[in-house]
Structure 1
């Protein structure tokens, strides 16, 4: 202990230590722990001082020289290039944000919590970002993904690497599938999927590779169509960087696909890149383009169709979000989100956005499923030509539920069971939303002008009431085969004076069969039926057979 005290300075509960070769194990302040720790120098009891073979978090302020029998190793401090000021070192991009410190961290500076099982198995702030709801020790499957990827995947801390490993080999990063960037303490993971869709339409529908019920022509026409597309293929790049600020790590996530613009033209091409997500997490906070807090991304049923239920709450947009654990398994979240007034103006004025949308939800998470209740508050503006802006307040509520019914009846755990049966994996998924001025948050109404409408005769502006609900049952026959059945409905309470051809509601039905021959590979076939209802009482339906071939990497 005397040797350790001779080389360490304890300040504000942290160890400040110049990096040294072959340093003895470090003793950290006592903290209660709930799980075994990785890299322990000797067995310890709960609430005893934590002993790690890895060095502590290094502070980048100058550290006074100390007397020690071990020769110190120089810190890797960034040096500016000739003619470049210190603030410009590391080649900061034009229009980049300022950086706190230009210090070149090496992987031996990783903090102890990086290897701590508790950090990966907590309901609170840990390795997994708080908005990525899942049982402790797991990460959720991306929404709109195929069931070849498990609903939840295990996350564990990496093994403690030796200096030889970090200098000569690719080292596992914070998450499974990630790696440490050589010379720094940032973990990188590249993932995504390649998907081929084959679609046969028995009746005309307006979108070639997504079943959008609002695009069904009324009255229906005669004609069949066949299409193949790979533009739903997706890739994502994410990173994790541990910090010495309250044991928070910085998580970044950028994801995109090619489901943008017009369908692929004959001969190839025509599939521009589309940004789906771009955000970073730090503790309780997430900033960037992300799922709306009003939606529940983990309520996505196992559908072959990429569009999904016409009533599904679905919106990704730039926002600032906070997520707070209330108690174990209970979370509260709120966000300020980008506004857009999606109004049918009938050529009499323009839409106006003068305040952000505000959303909030309360989430209950267990191994047997989850429940979520959400609220949305908006200010929607309309400016008649030559007039003053007219404002109206919109509000809505949504609820979602996912349960494993057979696991509840059989008394099993679908998450932690080693080889869960098909019945244990089977799920029921429910979602409903209702309110005024929420059109752009529902799948079938987004971009259709159903937040509000202007009477073409009187010029009066008013918000539109909308309601939607959907239900799904996902049945696993065994570990390789499953079926899914989904029904969804949307209803719109149109305002007076709208044309008879105005969309008034729609139904959506899907029945699918999946084969999962090996992990991360999914083959699916699905029958789709939809019917559109117009304000004048006319309706028309459409049918599609949709095949899918996907591999996740």
Structure 2
């Protein structure tokens, strides 16, 4: 049995009962919605910045892109391309240069893409699919009726691994790409590269701040003959193209990045091949050539020399190669090699890779964190074989055979939402700017290679205004 309760000493009052703790007030409906929203946001938060997690999976998704509107006009000719290539601008005296100019307004260079990331036992599995609207414009009865440009695939790849080592498979920017110049024009700057193609790529960290990349990339022979410029997808007299390929291109890059700036050394090795069997070209047979090239470039953060320079940068690049071709697609696309096919007296198939070299130098100056100017100049030269002088004057081959090319640009860009942190400037989500662009090309053989009444050179000047809103 339980012991009896202890007797209370005389005169001692009974202890007051202890009240239970007061219950917390129930959240209001507004507070409950806020709590629920925070829980949902946390549950769906992705592993990448600005991403969300697909419910029931470990995959995070991020949407990105920008809307870009370009207003541009040529000062002394009509060139309807919104991304003119230096090597193909109209020659002096041509019909395009006899017109007083042209103005265009377009948003076709706007872009949209999706990134995903999924954890795996080999490290994060990342993927990207990216489009713009710079494809062909549909037409009715051969005449364009609106600015309804077709979407165009830019990138589609998966990459697995971490910072130490990772592997990429799919269509992506070439390892050779190394754009140093910030421009508003969508033309590929002379001596720059904007190649996107299928590849298998390995990336590894070689040392602190040092990264190495090597890739096998899609082969695509490009050459020029008396009949013009040819690629594997070209047509010769309604039939197949003589340009073919057997082995993928081998491309590599080593880059270093530090407080002073960054430096990269690139190299490539590629096979070039012509096979005229089964085509309209004569003589019959095949020929192989090899292309190679090297490029060295980088940025210097000027504040390392004197803090008064702020966030300014000096950048430069120089290269040499033979058979580089489309890897510098504003200067040598189509001119990886030349062939005697179609010339009188040609008895066998020939393929002569073209030596080419050039350099770019530029400067980026910040007037204030939200306003900057980019200035850049590029020069490129091709040492064409002597038999190019035998191409028919005014023909497709002769008009495509440039000897020298130049391009310059100066712009003023306002980024009202720019931020500065530790000497580095983030441009924010909006850019508005104006730009002047200068192009010049000189033909091999000068006026003697040009069509009747046209000069052996072309000069184009363009002014462009752009607005870019990123998301």
Q: How would you bin the TM-score normalised by the shorter chain?
A: 0.7 to 0.9
Question: What is the CA–CA distance in structure 1 between the aligned matches of 2:260 and 2:356, rounded to whole Å?
Answer: 31
Query: After the TM superposition, which residues 199-210 of structure 1 pair with which residues of structure 2 at under 5 Å, given as runs?
Result: 199-204=72-77, 206-210=79-83
Question: What is the CA–CA distance in structure 1 between the aligned matches of 2:41 and 2:81, rounded to whole Å?
Answer: 50
**How far apart are 1:280 and its partner, in Å?**
1.1
**How far apart are 1:170 and its partner, in Å?**
6.2
Counterparts in 2 of 1:166 and 1:181: CA distance versus 1, 3 Å = farther
Counterparts in 2 of 1:210 and 1:171: CA distance versus 1, 3 Å = same
Partner of 2:285: 388
Partner of 2:366: 476
Asked if 1:533 is matched to 2:442, the reply is yes
**How far apart are 1:204 and its partner, in Å?**
2.2
Partner of 2:354: 464
Partner of 1:333: 213
* TM superposition score normalised by structure 1: 0.64
**How far apart are 1:237 and its partner, in Å?**
0.3
Asked if 1:320 is matched to 2:200, the reply is yes
Partner of 2:117: 240
**How far apart are 1:465 and its partner, in Å?**
1.4
Counterparts in 2 of 1:289 and 1:315: CA distance versus 1, 3 Å = same
Question: What is the CA–CA distance in structure 2 between the aligned matches of 1:198 and 1:379, rounded to whole Å?
Answer: 40
**How far apart are 1:540 and its partner, in Å?**
2.4
**How far apart are 1:163 and its partner, in Å?**
11
Task: Return the index of the structure with the highest Cα Rg.
Answer: 2
Counterparts in 2 of 1:263 and 1:217: CA distance versus 1, 3 Å = farther
Asked if 1:548 is matched to 2:462, the reply is no
Deviation track 1:330-377 (CA, whole Å, cap 9, x = no partner) reads 111110000010011435971120111001111111133211101100
Counterparts in 2 of 1:262 and 1:445: CA distance versus 1, 3 Å = farther
Equivalent residue in structure 2 for 1:425, among 311, 326, 340: 311
- The DSSP-based 3-state class of the residue aligned with 2:386 is coil
Equivalent residue in structure 1 for 2:261, among 339, 350, 369: 369
* TM superposition score normalised by structure 2: 0.75
Counterparts in 2 of 1:171 and 1:184: CA distance versus 1, 3 Å = same
Partner of 1:188: 61
**How far apart are 1:263 and its partner, in Å?**
9.5
**How far apart are 1:503 and its partner, in Å?**
2.0
Counterparts in 2 of 1:446 and 1:172: CA distance versus 1, 3 Å = farther
Q: Point out which structure has higher relative CO (alpha carbons under 8 A, 6+ apart).
A: 2
Question: What is the CA–CA distance in structure 2 between the aligned matches of 1:430 and 1:205, rounded to whole Å?
Answer: 32
The answer to whether the 8 A contact 1:206-1:215 is kept is: no
After superposition, the CA RMSD in angstroms is: 2.4
The answer to whether the 8 A contact 2:338-2:352 is kept is: yes
Partner of 1:399: 296
The answer to whether the 8 A contact 1:205-1:216 is kept is: no
Equivalent residue in structure 1 for 2:153, among 249, 253, 275: 275
Partner of 1:408: 304
Higher strand fraction: Structure 1 or Structure 2? 2
Query: After the TM superposition, which residues 349-360 of structure 1 pair with which residues of structure 2 at under 5 Å, given as runs?
Result: 350-360=242-252
- The DSSP-based 3-state class of the residue aligned with 1:218 is coil
- The DSSP-based 3-state class of the residue aligned with 1:441 is helix
Counterparts in 2 of 1:228 and 1:184: CA distance versus 1, 3 Å = same
The answer to whether the 8 A contact 1:427-1:473 is kept is: yes
Q: Which runs of 4+ in 1 moved over 4 A?
A: 162-170, 262-267
Asked if 1:497 is matched to 2:394, the reply is no
Question: What is the CA–CA distance in structure 2 between the aligned matches of 1:198 and 1:232, rounded to whole Å?
Answer: 12
Question: What is the CA–CA distance in structure 1 between the aligned matches of 2:444 and 2:249, rounded to whole Å?
Answer: 29
How many residues of Structure 1 are paired with residues of Structure 2 in the alignment? Answer: 376
**How far apart are 1:444 and its partner, in Å?**
1.5
Counterparts in 2 of 1:353 and 1:522: CA distance versus 1, 3 Å = same
The answer to whether the 8 A contact 2:188-2:194 is kept is: no
**How far apart are 1:440 and its partner, in Å?**
0.7
**How far apart are 1:229 and its partner, in Å?**
0.6
